Amino acid sequence: MKNIAVADIALPAKEAPRRRKWPVEVSIVLVLIGMALIFELLGWSLRGQSFLGNPGRLLIIILQVSTIGLLAVGVTQVIITAGVDLSSGSVLALSAMVAASLAQSGDYARAVFPSLTDMPAIVPVLAALAVGAAAGLVNGALITYGRLPAFIATLGMMVTARGLARYYTKGQPISMLTDQYTWIGSGANPVLIFLAVAVIFHIALGYTRYGKYTYAIGGNLQAARVSGINVTRHLILVYGIAGLLAGLGGVITSARAASGQAGMGMSYELDAIAAAVIGGTSLSGGVGRITGTVVGTLILGVMTSGFTFLGVDAYIQDIVKGLIIIAAVMADQYRRGGRRNA
């Protein structure tokens, strides 16, 4: 038997130790803290007041963005599948109008449905959720069975739902809602609902088959099909959930305002997408977490509250928000490029 020298044996090359990278959420939290500190410094230097000195400011900020946060949780799941949902704000308005019409007090002489006044709050809530889910399911069906790009399908739903919201009462607002219904939007209830929904879908995406399928479809659609995932059914489910959460947003918005108006939720879909993208969700699909979306929502809230605190013009706020979205997308492209070149 031939002797083999140790030098003749090809040893595997020793891999250089890889640097451990921080989770994306950590970087986003640092951005949130840095933004809050900047507003604190500007508040003292420009106005002689503290931005963070008010203990209730954080609750107010979350309260202001809780509805957008609900939409963002749904939109995040859609974007993870490499899709997009432009209809959530309009679906919110339609759901709010339907819910408000079923939540009117019997004391109101001009109720939309005089025979359906003083209904238990669960009735308008379920109606709004049904409207939202139906709109989402239609989006999913148009994308999967109709072979329409998600952008076109949801854009069409955005215009249609907004038109239906206006047509529902010929553009007239719906008022005089019952106390039982408006209680849903009172106090910290919207915040609690938003956080509960965020926890539920954080668990669903991270620890269930639903989440695995969602990430698989966004990562590689063909591979997901080959692996046995019913892509059509799952995409319809994802868009249905996004619509359901838009319907829930309609309930909270109308309950807080104690009225239903066709103009509710205007441009909310863009804020929801912005919250998801700022929170680290990749527009290319396959990447994103609900925790990041929650922090992204808080960043939007802190930014809006801080600019209002400093008296910055609303148009300037939109410009800055747009620049932040562009920066977030560029950062995502840089991260993905780094992963491909690694």
Residue-wise pLDDT for 156-175, tens only, equals: 999 999 999 999 999 899 99
Tokens of 325: 């979205």
Residue 6 has pLDDT above 80, yes or no: no
Task: Give CA torsion, residues 318, 287, 237, 140, to 10 deg.
Answer: 60
Q: Give per-residue pLDDT as tens, 172-188.
A: 999 999 999 999 999 89
Question: What is the average pLDDT score of the chain?
Answer: 88
**What residues make up the domain containing 209?**
56-330
Of 210 and 322, the structure prediction assigns the larger pLDDT to: 210
Q: Specify the pLDDT at position 12.
A: 47
**Residue 143 falls inside a structural domain:** yes
Q: What residues are paired with 174 via a beta bridge?
A: 260
pLDDT band of 60, cuts 50, 70, 90:
confident
pLDDT band of 79, cuts 50, 70, 90:
very high
Q: Give per-residue pLDDT as tens, 108-147.
A: 878 888 888 899 999 999 999 999 999 999 999 999 999 9
CA distance 36 to 330: 23
Selection from 155, 164, 146 nearest residue 86 by Cα: 155
Of 28 and 132, the structure prediction assigns the larger pLDDT to: 132
**Residue 18 falls inside a structural domain:** no
Would you call 35 exposed, middle or buried from its count of C-beta atoms within 10 A (0-12, 13-18, 19+)? middle
**Residue 79 falls inside a structural domain:** yes
Total domains in the fold of the chain: 1
**CB-side neighbour CA atoms (13 Å) of 52:** 11
Q: Specify the pLDDT at position 177.
A: 94
Residue 15 has pLDDT above 80, yes or no: no
Q: Specify the pLDDT at position 21.
A: 62
pLDDT band of 304, cuts 50, 70, 90:
confident
268: CATH: 1.10.3470
CA distance 299 to 293: 10
Tokens of 188: 């910290």
Selection from 62, 36, 26 nearest residue 198 by Cα: 62
pTM of the model: 0.88
Buried b (16+ CB within 10 A) or exposed e, 140-179: bbbbbeeebebeebbbbbbebbbebbbebbeeeebbbbbe
Residue 254 has pLDDT above 90, yes or no: yes
**Residue 80 falls inside a structural domain:** yes
Q: What residues are paired with 260 via a beta bridge?
A: 174
Phi-psi region of 158 (alpha: psi -120 to 50; beta: other; left: phi over 0): alpha
Q: Specify the pLDDT at position 213.
A: 97
SS (H, E, C) 258-311: CCECCCCCCCHHHHHHHHHHHCCCCCCCCCCCHHHHHHHHHHHHHHHHHHHHHC
Selection from 268, 263, 214 nearest residue 246 by Cα: 268
**Residue 100 falls inside a structural domain:** yes
Selection from 210, 202, 277 nearest residue 240 by Cα: 210
Task: Specify the range with the lowest mean pLDDT, choosing from 29-43, 45-59, 127-141, 269-283.
Answer: 45-59
**Residue 228 falls inside a structural domain:** yes
| CA 256 to chain CA centroid, nearest Å | 19
Q: Specify the pLDDT at position 338.
A: 53
Q: What is the mean pLDDT of residues 60-83?
A: 93
Contact 217, 77 (CB under 8 A): no
Q: What is the mean pLDDT of residues 285-290?
A: 92
Q: Specify the pLDDT at position 45.
A: 84
**Residue 24 falls inside a structural domain:** no
Q: Specify the pLDDT at position 328.
A: 77
**Residue 155 falls inside a structural domain:** yes
As a whole number of Å, the CA-based R_g of the chain is 23
